Structure 1
Amino acid sequence: MDTSSSFFGKDALSIIGIVIGLVLALPVIFILNQILGGLIRMTFGEWFTPWKHIPKVKQTDPLALFFGDFRAIKSQQPADQHVKWMNELGPVYRYRHMFQVHRILLADPKAMSYVLSPAKAYQYPKPEYTSAFLTAVLGEGLVSIEGEKHARQRKIIAPAFAPGVVKEYQPVIHRHAKALVKKLQDVIKEENDRRAGKFGADHLIEGQVPSDRSVTLQDPAHQAVVDVLFWLSRTTLDIIGEVGFSFMFDSLNNGDKDPLANAMNILMGAVLDLDLSTAILVIMSEKPGLKWLRYLPTSRRMRIKKATKTVEEHASVIVDRLRNEILAENQGVSKEIFDDMGDSRPKSLVSRMIRANMATDLKPSERMSNAELMGQMTTLIIAGHETTATQNSWALWLLAMHPEVQDKLRKVLQEAVAKEQAEKDVLPEEEQAIYENQPVRDINSIKYLDDVVKESIRMLPSIPSSLRVALKDDVVPLSRPYKRVDGKGTFNSVFIPKGHELFIPLNVISLSKDLWGEDAQVFNPDRWDNIPKSVIDAKMPPGHTFSFLAGPRSCVGKGIAFLETQVILTHLLLNFKFDIVPNWNLVQRQQIVRRAFVEGQWKEGIRMPLIVTPLNP
């Protein structure tokens, strides 16, 4: 026997055993380290914290050492627990996250504006693990990147979202909204026919679940329970496909049969359907020596890898096509020029980005790479269509919850349509053609519609919060002095140490009674006709809301998102009445965006079922 090879085999097995043991031990060591840190923070840490003077949430969870106030937050709907604490402790307070890690909540307009300002935004980036997670799914798009790369990309991209450009997309959005109306009419008719016996009792309609058919309706011959989020999501995907990069998904009719649409849905699920085990893995992967966890061949990672390959293949073809179209039109335009040069159709957003990226006055170091351009496409679809669909569904839910507001808005819309129809005949024939798809010429002229959309975004923004981390020690100013917890004076700033994770309470500050008055937590679109002086004096971002963030990290597509909501609500309210389903409790959960579930129907997943009644059956 060859003793050397025998010893080598034993040594190799020993090394493999040690490696496996270390791999298995690392999570245990990590958790033990976190528990020890939690104990220190919970005891001695209170003596040395620079935030002793800031009001603190009283902990009641018996497992607070492990979960801090996290379980209390997660047991409530998004922002609810934070708002309750704000009502008790004031807009500036502290609470504990997992393993007793301090978190400071700053529902103060000056503090929020400071952290998100051009001077400070890049000093407060997203946590590294969040950026890495988003980049793995979205690519190098505007949402996932940070710092100088973000500033460079935004400089090129921002002109494509200018107000004048956004206005050009009204006809496209109206056309898709009109198609949504037709689809909902067909879905409701199919359900009515099923009830009338024209289909088998087990006949299931697309987007429908069995419980939808069990609801007792007042007018079963005309009404139906419809998951409006299901159809809104398909519609907004079609809109962003055409507006974003001149691609026709036809998702409204074909679902995710298109390979690119299917791949995008897989990636969207990877971003939004983040379960607890995956979230823990993402957070652990930030720790020294544990970054390799990001590359474990989990089933989720394999799905992302396969979908990403499909997206890259299609995106590369689309980017090349758009670039060739631009070269055929003109070469070397400056980035200030974004006209359509002889084409009556509005250029897509990505086309405008490519045009700006090819400008002769851009240095080579300032241009976006192909990978970055493709990252914008992925970001547009995932960040652009699902958040808008979600925002639209919550707007419809609020209108269903407040039928008096729904009726008033519908009346305002009907009057606007009637007025324009009465004046249409005096217009040139080519201008009359616009009414084929548009009920009104300019959706922005309807003030009450604007108020309703603003109020729905204030009350229930699709993204309730965000997270930032301080790259260096800083002192954040506050809009006014707040009382110290010990009663010995006041404080008007908060020290934020390097490495501290700062919770950005987008929804919480929108519900602040200090800003909006005692009815801050009530849905009231009329408030926008008489905005409180406290809101005006706060000098908040345009629109008096932080729902789209602010500064250089604000949502570049907020104009299009707002326009989509205006247009889609107009078409839907002119054609349907929306009611809540009696005795169905809608539960909100934050999975990056605000998601809706029906209590007791968890297996059916994310949905927004409403009773929909056609106005002209």
Structure 2
Amino acid sequence: MSLPSAFYSLPASVLLLALTFAAYHLVLAPYFNPLRRIAGPPQKGWFGTYLQALLDPARSPKVHEIFVRRYGRTIRIRGVGPWDVRLLSLDPVTITHVLKHSQIYEKPWQSQRLITSLIGCGMLGAEGAVHKRQRRVATPAFSIQNMRALVPLVYAKGTALRERWSAMFEDASCELEGAFSEDGMCKIDVARWVSRATFDVIGIAGFDYNFNAIQDETNELFCAYKDMFEVAISQGGFIRTVLMVYLPFLTRILVGDGFPSLACQSLILESLQPDEISRTVRRCQEVIRRVGGHLIQEKKRKVEEGQRSGKPYEAKDLLSLLLKSNTAPDLPPDQRISDEDILHNINTFMFAGSDTSSLALTWILLLLAQNPTIQERLRDELQAIAPPSDNLSEEEIQSLYGTLADLPYLSNVTRESMRLIPPVHSSLRAATQDDVLPTSSPVHKPDGTVDEGARSVLVPKGSFIHVPIEAFNLDKSIWGDAAWEFNPDRWDALPDAVNELPGLFAHTLTFSAGPRSCIGMRFSLIEIKTFLYILLTSFEFSECPGTRIIKANVVLTRPYVAGRFKEGSQCPLMVKPITRKL
């Protein structure tokens, strides 16, 4: 019996319907997008875009300046194709609205998938009710009192780094990255060493685990995190990242999982280079899950024993505080988070607490090396409060930091460097519903005219909103004509316009703003100021002759040696021990 002819045409009809649907959404629908009524740069070709220039810190300040001058502060840009119409805003009122209403403007699913595939669904990757629940549990752990209690731990690791460098100078250790110069200076990759130190800090402060990375880089858990963040994230490449986000099954195929036929798998692996980065990610995740899971169970046991005995477990690390907060009597059971969520947030603390702080410190040291007069002025201020002895009790360390935190020039240098080179270059949000964004300045039209009465923009559901963190921090119309220069004294007389900017930290977006602002800001500032005190009162920093350090946006803004990008992120400086004034 033959089948009806309609049966054979069904696949063709389905295919035609799918093609029609795709053509409408990819080609026709964008022309009706209300964002097209906003001025923006012209595009050349089907996939022409300015995204690369906008996200490259070597070019982005100039590009943002040109765009604002030509198209105003509310700008239409294209993403990866003509169907991808986005909004770039340098309007403080608009960005305040976006960051304040985090329930409407979430991280795009692509960003969420990339984050969660690496470090799990912690506060960095979670959205909505999940993020709110996790943040509620974690907030008590990050109180001012708890953060100040960690100061002696940070001080101990800063001192360990100083002693490690001093010992290397004394025995001319081959671990130094270069030969000694005639004046006793030596080239050290400060990015590498500061990263090892901040890993040690977050290990102890985060979950009472000693990586001992300053002394030795072979610890299993340290290597897992290091490879995860430096190899998998920094060296993943654009193509691999796109595949991991849009075609996650391909990653499973390339690492040898999820494909039923070994013969077919071998054929694929012969035609495609095996994804070693995916293998690295999986290996690291297995180590982190095993060791981290054991740490969580041990901490839970100690916390529960303390609760039963009436003698509370007094550990000060974030994991212990998180577990205590999660079992607090006043927290409803349905608001508590699972052990898996706790592990994911520990991974988040490791990434956010180590990588961002180490980069901030590295950039500060580079800026001080490039500006020796500022470096010497800051050193004088720091040495003026140095105690008569290095052997300090915890109470004396706390007292020292209390003085340190209020030093005016140290505060100015910290704020200025983090304004000038924020570790997070920019952020992206997606509208989960249609919304009207307010603006403080008129919106320019595509024909070049300006509607002086227009003070809002209609944003359709699904639209991407670019939050240009660096651009806000460097906006000359707000910070003045010298906004791109390193000038700590500017903080003694800020322009009035700065006060209108959103931001959790010093009128900048370095630590973001709103409900999703950085929960660890206080801890990061403790770490940065303590390390600066210890290092600058012990060593002098200057630029390496013939070496130019450039900025590159590789998840975070990282330093690289010009012409040697493939060698990975590094920031070599000339370092010289100095006599500390005690």
Shift of 1:52: 4.7
2:40 to 53, 56, 70: 56
- The aligned residue for residue 91 of structure 2 is 108
- The aligned residue for residue 360 of structure 1 is 329
RMSD: 3.0
Shift of 1:327: 1.9
Shift of 1:534: 1.2
Distance 1:87 1:399 in 2: 31
1:373 to 342, 351, 362: 342
CA contact (8 A) 1:78 1:594 kept: no
Shift of 1:412: 0.9
Alignment of 1:83-482 (within 5 A): 83-86=64-67, 88-89=69-70, 90-100=72-82, 101-117=84-100, 120-190=101-171, 193=172, 205-206=174-175, 208=177, 212-213=178-179, 219-220=181-182, 222-255=184-217, 257-268=218-229, 269-285=231-247, 292-293=249-250, 295-298=252-255, 299=275, 300-331=277-308, 343=314, 347-417=316-386, 421=388, 434=395, 442-482=403-443
- Gap regions ≥5 residues in structure 1: 1-28, 195-204, 286-290, 334-339, 425-429
Q: Pick closer, same or farther for the CA change 1:488–1:113 going to 2, 3 Å.
A: closer
Deviates most, 518-527 or 69-78:
69-78
Shift of 1:513: 2.1
Shift of 1:55: 3.3
Q: Does 2:533 match 1:573?
A: no
SS in structure 2 of the partner of residue 479 of structure 1: coil
Deviates most, 103-112 or 81-90:
81-90
Distance 1:549 1:139 in 2: 21
Counterpart of 2:539, as a letter, is: F
Counterpart of 2:64, as a letter, is: V
Deviations 1:563-583 (A, max 9, x none): 111111111111111111233
Q: Pick closer, same or farther for the CA change 1:75–1:169 going to 2, 3 Å.
A: closer
CA contact (8 A) 1:588 1:597 kept: yes
CA contact (8 A) 1:57 1:85 kept: no
Shift of 1:432: 6.1
Counterpart of 1:449, as a letter, is: L
SS in structure 2 of the partner of residue 416 of structure 1: coil
Q: Pick closer, same or farther for the CA change 1:407–1:87 going to 2, 3 Å.
A: farther
CA contact (8 A) 2:38 2:74 kept: yes
Deviates most, 148-157 or 319-328:
319-328
Shift of 1:604: 2.1
- Gap regions ≥5 residues in structure 2: 1-17, 256-274
Distance 2:468 2:478 in 1: 14
- The aligned residue for residue 197 of structure 1 is none
Distance 1:551 1:332 in 2: 40
CA contact (8 A) 1:133 1:282 kept: yes
Q: TM-score, with normalisation over the residues of structure 1?
A: 0.80
Shift of 1:441: 5.1
Shift of 1:87: 5.2
Between Structure 1 and Structure 2, how many residues are aligned?
538
Counterpart of 1:537, as a letter, is: E
Shift of 1:80: 2.9
Shift of 1:400: 1.3
Deviations 1:551-602 (A, max 9, x none): 1211111111111111111111111111112332212111111111111223
Distance 1:92 1:332 in 2: 60
- The aligned residue for residue 573 of structure 2 is 610
CA contact (8 A) 2:444 2:451 kept: yes
SS in structure 2 of the partner of residue 296 of structure 1: helix
% identical equivalent positions: 26
Q: TM-score, with normalisation over the residues of structure 2?
A: 0.85
Counterpart of 2:560, as a letter, is: F
CA contact (8 A) 1:171 1:438 kept: no
Counterpart of 2:254, as a letter, is: P
Shift of 1:156: 0.5
Distance 2:210 2:166 in 1: 22
CA contact (8 A) 2:382 2:533 kept: yes
CA contact (8 A) 2:168 2:176 kept: no
- The aligned residue for residue 590 of structure 1 is 553
- The aligned residue for residue 462 of structure 2 is 499
- The aligned residue for residue 15 of structure 1 is none
Deviations 1:45-89 (A, max 9, x none): 56x452455332245xx6x43241234446662633543334533
SS in structure 2 of the partner of residue 222 of structure 1: coil
Shift of 1:207: 6.5
Shift of 1:438: 8.5
Q: Pick closer, same or farther for the CA change 1:74–1:372 going to 2, 3 Å.
A: closer
- The aligned residue for residue 13 of structure 2 is none
Q: Pick closer, same or farther for the CA change 1:242–1:477 going to 2, 3 Å.
A: same
Q: Pick closer, same or farther for the CA change 1:235–1:539 going to 2, 3 Å.
A: closer
Q: Pick closer, same or farther for the CA change 1:188–1:111 going to 2, 3 Å.
A: farther
Q: Pick closer, same or farther for the CA change 1:276–1:134 going to 2, 3 Å.
A: same
CA contact (8 A) 1:513 1:520 kept: yes
Counterpart of 1:353, as a letter, is: L
Deviates most, 583-592 or 147-156:
583-592
Q: Pick closer, same or farther for the CA change 1:103–1:274 going to 2, 3 Å.
A: farther
Distance 1:313 1:34 in 2: 44
Shift of 1:510: 0.9
Q: Pick closer, same or farther for the CA change 1:142–1:76 going to 2, 3 Å.
A: closer
Distance 1:307 1:321 in 2: 21
- The aligned residue for residue 261 of structure 2 is none
Shift of 1:521: 1.7
CA contact (8 A) 1:434 1:441 kept: no
